[in-house]
Structure 1
Amino acid sequence: MNKTELLGALALCAFSFLAHADEDSLRIGIEAAYPPFSFKTPEGNVSGFDYDIGNALCEEMKVKCEWVIQEFDGMIPSLKVRKIDAVLSSMSITEDRMKSVDFSKKYYHTPGKFAMKAGSVINDPLVDLKGKKLGVQRSSTYDRFATEQLEKAGVVVVRYGSQNEAFLDLASGRLDATLADIVNTDESFIKTPAGQGFALTGPDINDPKYFGRGAGIAVRKGDSANVARLSAAIDAIRANGKYQQVMARYFAFDIYGE
């Protein structure tokens, strides 16, 4: 083998190694501030339903999960610039988001709900929340719903980088209400000491126009390979019982939905 052939062979080996390394790992964006779906333990480790489901999916696909923690509103931009390969952070599958990214099939589906002082009644949010301050997480489906439906009806919409910030302001009296996922609100606020004196109220908020078909795993537009293997892995862990094992750690009901 001459020098040129040797260099070519080495280059090919290096390329094959890198390609194989990419196939053996998946960089996944997660917020880690949305309990019980994703949060940090007192020791600083990431935990939660999203995190555990992601690890189960990676195990099924025989790839290594490389978790990238960041704020929710930076997830899709990070996908586009290839900082991450997927978003597994309770991101709802909506028509608006599907203009920018592709999704796996859903891995759970829950409605949204308002939280207010216990005893507060919401029959019609457009009427009963007029003039009141409502907190939502920035760039979430709840932000879009509040902007297009509630803000136009006179509701004062206050946006936050994380849902936990909205809960803190609700507890301190700087908000009249917040709108978020029913499970997140109940588990990470209502059932905690900070949520004493508050309750879930009003109708379920689940308009498909805004909240889509449940939470899925987002990937770059056109990444059909990851859509296919992630969807297949979701089916597989539901069939072999791993999904149910993870779900039982966090919920006493079937969060997958209809």
Structure 2
Amino acid sequence: MKILCPTDFSAVANYAFDAACLLAKKLKAELHLFHNISGSAAFTSAFDDETYAPYQHAVVAAAEEQLALLKKEGNARKVAIDIHLSSGDFLTNIQELIAQTPFDFVVMGSHGASGKREWLIGSNAQKVVRRIHTNILIIKEPLTELRLEKAVFATGLLPDDQKAFRNFLDLTAILQIKEVHLLSIHTSGIFNPPQIVMQEALKDFAAIAEGYTCKTHYYEDISVEAGIRHFTQEQRMDLIAIANHPRHPLRRIFSGNTVEMVVNHAEVPVWSVDYA
């Protein structure tokens, strides 16, 4: 198995690196570290090639040094590590890397984003869950051990969510999940199905989890994202899992994307589950 861990060497990126090492040891997987050097066109165009080259060489050397230190630290934990360094557009480069090497997991840290940045630009973690559909684990705080005992799987009760739920159940043992909580959020929108229909659909999902400790919850709130966060806080969940479906860009801007918003605002780790 292969795990990808993007890093910008920040504190939350280091939290993600620690979590990725724990996961790699558990899965006996290769860990691939990825760093992208990016610079604005306005900045780079202000220098000619002769002036800019020494600066670029220094930045690359510093990044290589940081990656080498992380590799040494990972090797000390008995984790096999490969290093990838690129420059240019972060999202383009990480997509190309994933196209070349299919990864079973992506583990990355997130500071979150808010206001105009959240809706129009987004954090790097938000961009990754928007464009890359594989198992993505988003880390916000230090994770000293791979023990996330209480997990909520938030679902819109779509057929594809059942595929993602099965993928999630297959990996619960890896994350030492003991309690699975199936959650469906009801809002005041006029297009919501009746409560009894949603509750019956939840039973269908619960049947998939036969043999697991699984509880179903029907929760009302002002929005799906708010409901997931409020339920997580009230029930003291250790992990939020949610299937990530593609969404039209214009609809995402005007209506938001639940997975991206949860990634930005949740205080616990978020697992964007592969639904393929």
Q: Would you say same fold, with TM above 0.5?
A: no
TM-score, normalised via structure 2 length? 0.25
Per chain length, whose mean CA-contact separation is higher, i.e. which structure has more relative contact order (CA < 8 Å, sep 6+)? 1
**TM-score (normalizing by structure 1):** 0.26
Task: State the structure with more CA Rg.
Answer: 1
